[in-house]
Structure 1
Amino acid sequence: ESALLHDRTRLLLSRVGRSPRLVVDSSISGVTSSSVIPNHVSNPRIEDVSGCAPSFVPSDPWMGASIDVKKAHRRMKIAQHERALLAFSFRGRYFVSNCLNFGARASSWYWARLAGAIHRVTHYIIFLKHFLWVYVDDWLAGFRKSTAPLHVSLWVMLLLCINLPISWSKCSIGDQITWIGWRISFDSWTVELPDEKIHRILDQLASVCKQKRVKVKDLESIIGRLLWLTGLWRLLRPLLQPLYAALRDIPCTIVAVSPQLWTQILDACGDSGRLQRSLNHASFPEGARLTRAGNTAISSLAQLKRVPFIKRRLWVSIQDSDHPLRCLSPLSIAALHSWSAILSSTPCVCNIKQAPLLHLVAEADAFADEDMCGLGGYIQWPSVKQFFPSLDGSLQPHICALELLAQYCLLGMASEMVPRARHQLTIPMRSDNSGAELASVKGMSSVKILGEVLLAFLDFQRRNGLHASVEHIPGYRNDLADELSRLRDAFSPLPECDRMHPPLHFLLRS
């Protein structure tokens, strides 16, 4: 019953412009850390809606519907012997809830299991073609307009039969539906970011741009909003890299240490120069990292031990990950200004209709050793003609960047061979390098050279109306592209007229 007697539980009882909500922070009492969740549920994103959109506006129009459950977490009843775990105190009084509250780790898990069951039953009842997603307690559905009234009626009757309370004021049906912050138009299959969301992000950007040092919570908030925004505009993801770099740029604190404290620091440091335990000093908590001692930059314990202690005091620089501020570099500030310019001058409307898929095979590979690297790949069209590049160079440690560069070469070749005045096209591509594949999917990388190639790769897609869908292929199945990447002095199996040499200088410069 220790949680019942805990008197430091934080509460949030009111929200600006919205109805009050009781939020209990169960992490203070230790309930959250002690809860073991057997599995995790992935919530749908706006990309999932885009993945179900047609490639053209159908002749039979569609419409959407959304249903919100009222106080979803409080639909889950707590066992009698576990109710004390979510109890809290307020002004000297103790409160015990019979239902799960908003804020407990177990609440979302138990509700997700119930929501999943309701979701599957809904699919079973609405047996004709439809779309259906659930984000926690917020459902979104898409129906053909000719059958939508019947299907929505069946859906609502199902929820009423199982006595699930519906928040009627949040429900909607029509050509346009607002769901998880996005305005979805089923008549044109477009998604728009509402003006109030844009203004909120612009105000936050303007506030952060004025500071050279920003609070960690503010920086994490703006990164989270922009990451959510780029769910549809993935080609803008490289603009997030400087912001993530700023999140890792922890300010240094300069402290004068005595010989006794210096000895304690050496004993407490790990091989990377990070403190493995707290010292009897406020500036040296556990996990802090020493970056400089005197005039010497520090990156390991061995370097730290070689620093001479000459005077009575030695000045050291230390980084504490719990520091509440982060430094903004000129590159980070420029990225923030770029985001502000984009959001203030560009309509945030995205066409989510699926780009037609080209039925071809495009595989690429790269190799690198100490003094040479090679790129190879081929495109196989339905006519079974193959074209491939083969280049030499260096930079063995950057094999992921070379693999992505090989994919970029294939994309450039495909762009030259498809018509210009056309709809956006999806190019299926294969790579046996997980790093290049992951960078292409995420749209950003903290590795500098890989990030530069990725920036050019995504910008080329944007300017040429192409979408590169890079999927993984086992290395043993990518033998032809691997052989082409290593083709140097050997005789080419293809005639010269079928070979292409992509202009690498132009591609990377663009």
Structure 2
Amino acid sequence: MGDADTALAAVLAPGVSTGVFEPVSASGVWLCRLQPDLQEHLPLLCCSSNWLSAEHAPEVVTTLVQQDLRDQFVKRFDGSLEEARMKWPLGIAVGKLGVTTVEGRDPRLTLGSTEPHVNPNVRINEKTFNPGHRDESFVGFTMDVSKAHKRIKVRHEDQGLLMFPPLHASLLVALMCVLKVPMSWHKCHLKAQIDWIGLSFNFNYFFVQLPYAKIRKGTLFLDKVAATTRLTRVDLEKGIGLLLWISDVFLFLRPWLSSFYRALFHPPATLLSASRTQLQEILDCCDECLRVVRAPTLCNVSLGWKLLQVGRTLVNNKSQVLSLHSGSSRMCLRMHNPCSRIVQIDPGLQRLAASWSNTVRYSPMWRSMLPARFEEGSAAADAFATGSTVGIGGWLRSSASTE
């Protein structure tokens, strides 16, 4: 049948890899990475608390966890962290449990695996992406497998990373029933206009539209970025998620997302004043690249931080630090915190956010799903500026034109 992912069944049977302990092999479905990911491996952490959305709704969390236990999507681990490390010797991580509530839908559990450094350590030998509305044929049918992501078996070695405190629609439905695939029937639609992946698709007039509520949330986020110099990492991550949706319709805005990602992954450095004893302890807790792999006890430095500068000297390894000589009893250290709770917003990003906001607010919220028609012809354009006067003009002549 020409299926590129012929090894999928063999991978699903023993359990899928998370890509933390070894890269996920290329399936042939997506674009292969030309170069390996050289990002440093962050130490796996065990979070001691959950997100506030879970802490403030213990009854909801208890009900949802009990339901997942009954459905065998999760399994209770009766033991200490040390016993867990013995069971999964390659490593464990304890993430943050959260509750996501969306108007008109039942609440659902989410497991935050970014804080314990699981997500940042994932290595996939392909550039994976989900299809947008431009990538698929026009089919007005949606289907959802009930709790599909929870039905994927994870291999034993990786289970320790997931702990927490054009066929006709009727034929497809019949096929799913024959295969006994559990369906979320309330998410199945067969009509002229359907909502999918946060977009509204109209098959009478073949256009895709951003819902007003999503436009409003996006502009509120952009206005906030344009008016502030500091933002929480959580707010920026949520806002980037909104902008990904918006730029799926306003595709010309997609390249400018890089500035938002740069702010997310380049947090400001933290300055510390440390004694010689504290500096020595920090060095003892660092690897050769000066990344903290054990938490010091004499100063407020966390796992994953990296030492960048001692005094006025930039450092890259332990040998450079040990070779420094200073007559002062205390030294100023500059350290990089990759998971800083606060993200710095520079003036350039402020201006970009304001421009995005105006574009989204005053542009049409719909785009045609029909492919652009190619037509031969000739065109020219030019612009001028003299003093305070500017002008732009041009002409277009179709090959079918008689003039």
TM-score range, shorter chain: 0.5 to 0.7
Letter in 2 for 1:419: S
Deviation string 1:40-98 (CA, Å, 9 cap, x unpaired) is 9967421xx42455xxxxxxxx7723334455567x599xxx9xx89xxxxxxxxxxxx
- Of the three residues 319, 327, 338, the one matched with 2:344 is 327
- State which drifts further: 248-257 or 275-284: 275-284
> Quick one: which amino acid aligns to residue 420 of structure 1?
A
The aligned residue for residue 103 of structure 2 is 17
Structure-2 residue corresponding to 1:419: 378
Instruction: Work out whether residues 63 and 187 of structure 1, in 8 Å CA contact, stay in contact via their aligned partners in 2.
Output: no
2:296 counterpart of 1:337:
no
1:239 corresponds to 2:256: yes
- Distance in 1, matches of 2:309 and 2:100, equals 47
Question: Which secondary structure state, in structure 2, belongs to the residue aligned with residue 183 of structure 1?
Answer: strand
Q: Which residue of 2 aligns with 1:50?
A: 134
Distance 1:320 1:350, change over 3 A: same
Q: Deviations over 1:342-388 (max 9, x none)?
A: 11111132233333569xxxxxxxxxxxxxxxxxxxxxxxxxxxxxx
Aligned to 2:316: 300
1:207-247: per-residue Cα shift (whole Å, max 9, x none)? Answer: 34443221111112212221343234443233222212211
State how far apart, in whole Å, the 2-side matches of 1:351 and 1:215 are: 36
Deviations 1:266-300 (A, max 9, x none): 56556655445543334333432233333x15142
Pair 1:185–1:6, CA change in 2 (3 A): farther
Matched, 1:250 2:267: yes
Equivalent position SS for 2:134: helix
Residues 245 and 182 from structure 1, CA distance in 2 versus in 1: closer, same or farther, beyond 3 angstroms?
A: same
SS in 2 for 1:230: helix
Matched residue type, 1:242: S
- Write the distance in 2 (CA, Å) between the matches of 1:9 and 1:269: 23
Q: CA deviation at 1:329?
A: 0.8
Question: TM-score normalised to the size of structure 1?
Answer: 0.46
2:302 to 273, 278, 285: 285
Assess, with a 3 A threshold, how the Cα gap between structure 1 residues 162 and 199 changes in structure 2: closer, same or farther: same
- Are 1:65 and 2:141 counterparts? yes
Q: How many angstroms does 1:254 deviate by?
A: 2.3
Helix, strand or coil at the partner of 1:50: coil
Structure 2 vs 1, CA of residues 254 and 187 (structure 1 numbering), >3 Å: closer, same or farther?
A: same
Secondary structure of 1:188's aligned partner: coil
Query: What residue in structure 1 maps to residue 30 of structure 2?
Result: none
User: d(CA) in 1 for partners of 2:216 and 2:352?
Assistant: 18
Contact 1:63 1:176 in 2 (8 A): no
1:53-452 equivalences under 5 Å are 64-72=140-148, 126=167, 151-162=168-179, 164=181, 166-266=183-283, 273-275=290-292, 277-294=294-311, 296-301=312-317, 304-305=321-322, 307-355=324-372, 419-420=378-379
> 2:140 touches 2:191 (CA, 8 Å); kept in 1?
yes
2 and 168 in structure 1: CA distance in 2 versus 1, 3 angstrom threshold: closer
Gaps (5+ residues) in structure 1? Answer: 54-61, 87-102, 106-122, 127-150, 359-416, 422-462, 466-510
Partner-residue secondary structure (3-state), 2:272? strand
Check the 8 A contact 1:26/1:104 in 2, yes or no. Answer: no
CA distance in 2, matches of 1:38, 1:316: 35
Deviation at 1:27, TM superposition (A): 6.9
CA contact (8 A) 1:274 1:288 kept: yes
Tell me if 1:5 matches 2:89: no
SS of equivalent residue, structure 2 residue 200: strand
Tell me the distance in 1 between the aligned counterparts of 2:251 and 2:347. Answer: 23
- Quote the sequence identity (%): 25
Secondary structure of the structure 2 residue equivalent to 1:178: strand
Is the contact made by 2:198 and 2:245 (CA closer than 8 Å) also made in structure 1?
no
Question: Which is helix-richer, 1 or 2?
Answer: 1
Equivalent residue letter for 1:227: L
Higher relative contact order (CA 8 A, sep 6+): 2
Q: How many residues align?
A: 286
Using the TM superposition, give the Cα deviation of residue 324 of structure 1 relative to its aligned residue in structure 2, in angstroms. Answer: 1.0
CA gap 1:155/1:211 in 2 versus in 1, 3 angstroms: same
Structure 1 residue 196 displacement after superposition? 1.3
State the superposition RMSD in angstroms: 4.6
State the Cα deviation string for residues 104-124 of structure 1 (Å, max 9, x = none): 79xxxxxxxxxxxxxxxxx6x
- In structure 2, stretches of 5+ residues that fail to align are 1-73, 81-93, 381-393, 397-403
- Deviations 1:452-493 (CA, angstroms, capped at 9, x unpaired): xxxxxxxxxxx999xxxxxxxxxxxxxxxxxxxxxxxxxxxx
